[in-house]
C-alpha cells in the first residue's frame, strides 16, 4: 500500500499535506504532531469506525465515535496521552489504515530566530546498550505572514530518533522519559514578499467582545489557525512579532509558543485582528472596566447629617437621664440623713 497522506487540521484552501513515514520500513505509518494543536487522520473509507490503542498503558483498544461523513478522525485539541495506534475500519470490518502517532509536548517546544543568530538544536546521542540519535525532522518553510512590509515565516521541526537505517518519532522509540528530554522545534526568520493585487478575501470572520476586570489578561484564539499555518496579529497601533517577544523587557502582547502564535495574550483595551495565510479570520474587542471611587451625592450628605444629628440627640437624652438619676440619688441621701 502506498504511503497514506495525513492532512493537518482542517482541509482549508492552501493548506498542504505531509507524507507519512513508515516505522520500521514495511510497517504502519508513523506520524508526529505538536500538542495542543489540532490534527486530522485520514481514512479511505467514508463510513469508518476508528479504534485507539494508547502507548501509555496496555488497555484494550478503545472504539472512537466519528460523526463526520468523510470518515476522517478530527482531533481538535491534542495532548501527549493521546499518543498511540489509531486504526480505521470500513463497514465490512476491513482495516483500511493504521497510524502510530506521537503527540509531542508543545510545552517543550524550542524556539530559535535567525535574526538573533539563534541556532536550532544539534543532533544528540542517547542510550547505553542501544544507542539512538535524536534529530529534528523539519517541515517546509511556511509562507510569509505579511506582504508589502517586513514579516516573519516559520517552520516546524519534529523530534525523531534514528537507529541503524530507519528513524521514527521520538515518542515511539524505545526510550525512557529520563533519556528523552528533547522536544519539537519552531524556527523563525524574517521575510519580505510583495502583495498580490487580486488576493482572495476571507469568507469567515469571527467577532468577539470581552469585558474584563482591571489588571486582568485574556487569551484571544484565532479561528482556523494552528502551528502548521502562517498566522499574524495586529491592533490599532501595534503588530506583535516573535522578534519583539524575544527582546529583553518585552511588555506587549504575548504570542503563545505551543500554538505557533495562534493565541495572543493581551492586557490592554483595543481592537485586535488575526490573519491566517494573510486572510482576515478574527476581530476581537476586549475592554477593561476601571473601578473609580464614587463621590458622595447630595442625598448622601443629607443621610450622613441625619445620622450625626440622631447620634447627638441620643447623647443629649442620655446626659439628661444621667443627670435625673444623679438628682434622685442626692434627694434620697438628704432624706435619709434628716
pLDDT for residue 112:
97
Residue pair 30/168 in contact by the 8 Å Cβ criterion: yes
Residue pair 43/73 in contact by the 8 Å Cβ criterion: yes
Alpha-carbon distances of 235 from 284, 285, 289, 298, rounded to whole Å: 9, 10, 19, 43
Q: Which residues are CB-contacts of 316 (< 8 A; sequence separation ≥ 6)?
A: none
pLDDT band per the 50, 70, 90 thresholds, residue 220 = very high
pLDDT at 232 over 70: yes
Strands 206-213, 218-221: pairing is unpaired
pLDDT for residue 300:
55
206-289 classified as CATH 2.60.40.10:
yes
pLDDT at 273 over 90: yes
Grid cell in block for residue 180: 528523552
Q: What is the pLDDT of residues 161-208, one digit of tens each?
A: 998 777 889 998 877 777 788 999 999 999 999 998 766 565 567 676
Q: Where are the domains of the chain?
A: 1-104, 106-198, 206-289
pLDDT at 22 over 60: no
Alpha-carbon distances of 321 from 263, 308, 325, 327, 333, rounded to whole Å: 73, 20, 6, 10, 19
Q: What is the pTM of this model?
A: 0.76
1-104 — its CATH code?
2.60.40.10
What DSSP character marks residue 35? T
Residue pair 206/282 in contact by the 8 Å Cβ criterion: yes
Domains 1-104 and 206-289 share a fold: yes
SS3 149: coil
pLDDT band per the 50, 70, 90 thresholds, residue 268 = confident
Amino acid at each position: 500500500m502506498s504511503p497514506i497522506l495525513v492532512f493537518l487540521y482542517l482541509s482549508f484552501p492552501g493548506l498542504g499535506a505531509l507524507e507519512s513515514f513508515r516505522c520500521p520500513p514495511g510497517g504502519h505509518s508513523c506520524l508526529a504532531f505538536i500538542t495542543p494543536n489540532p490534527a486530522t487522520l485520514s481514512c479511505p473509507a467514508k463510513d469508518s469506525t476508528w479504534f485507539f490503542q494508547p502507548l501509555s498503558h496496555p488497555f484494550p483498544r478503545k472504539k472512537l465515535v466519528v460523526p463526520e461523513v468523510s470518515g476522517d478522525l478530527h482531533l481538535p485539541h491534542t495532548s501527549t496521552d493521546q499518543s498511540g495506534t489509531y486504526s480505521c475500519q470500513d463497514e465490512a470490518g476491513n482495516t483500511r489504515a493504521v497510524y502510530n502517532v506521537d503527540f509531542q509536548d508543545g510545552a517543550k517546544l524550542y524556539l530559535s530566530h535567525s535574526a538573533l543568530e539563534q541556532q536550532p538544536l544539534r543532533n544528540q546521542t542517547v542510550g547505553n546498550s542501544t544507542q539512538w540519535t535524536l534529530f529534528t525532522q523539519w517541515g517546509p518553510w511556511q509562507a510569509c505572514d505579511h506582504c508589502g512590509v517586513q514579516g516573519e515565516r516559520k517552520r516546524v521541526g519534529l523530534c525523531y530518533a534514528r537507529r541503524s537505517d530507519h528513524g521514527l518519532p521520538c515518542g515511539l522509540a524505545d526510550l525512557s522519559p529520563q533519556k528523552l528530554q528533547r522536544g519539537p522545534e519552531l524556527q523563525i526568520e524574517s521575510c519580505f514578499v510583495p502583495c498580490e493585487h487580486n488576493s482572495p478575501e476571507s469568507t469567515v470572520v469571527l467577532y468577539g467582545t470581552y469585558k474584563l476586570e482591571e489588571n486582568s489578561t485574556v487569551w484571544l484564539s484565532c479561528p482556523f489557525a494552528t502551528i502548521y499555518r502562517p498566522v499574524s496579529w495586529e491592533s490599532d497601533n501595534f503588530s506583535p512579532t516573535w522578534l519583539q517577544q524575544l527582546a529583553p523587557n518585552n511588555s506587549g502582547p504575548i504570542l503563545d509558543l505551543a500554538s505557533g502564535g495562534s493565541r495572543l495574550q493581551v492586557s490592554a483595551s483595543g481592537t485586535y485582528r488575526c490573519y491566517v495565510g494573510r486572510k482576515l479570520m478574527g476581530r476581537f474587542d476586549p475592554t477593561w472596566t476601571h473601578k473609580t471611587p464614587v463621590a458622595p451625592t447630595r442625598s448622601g450628605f443629607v443621610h450622613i447629617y441625619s445620622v450625626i444629628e440622631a447620634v447627638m440627640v441620643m447623647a443629649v437624652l442620655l446626659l439628661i437621664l444621667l443627670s435625673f438619676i444623679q438628682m434622685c440619688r442626692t434627694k434620697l441621701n438628704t432624706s435619709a440623713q434628716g
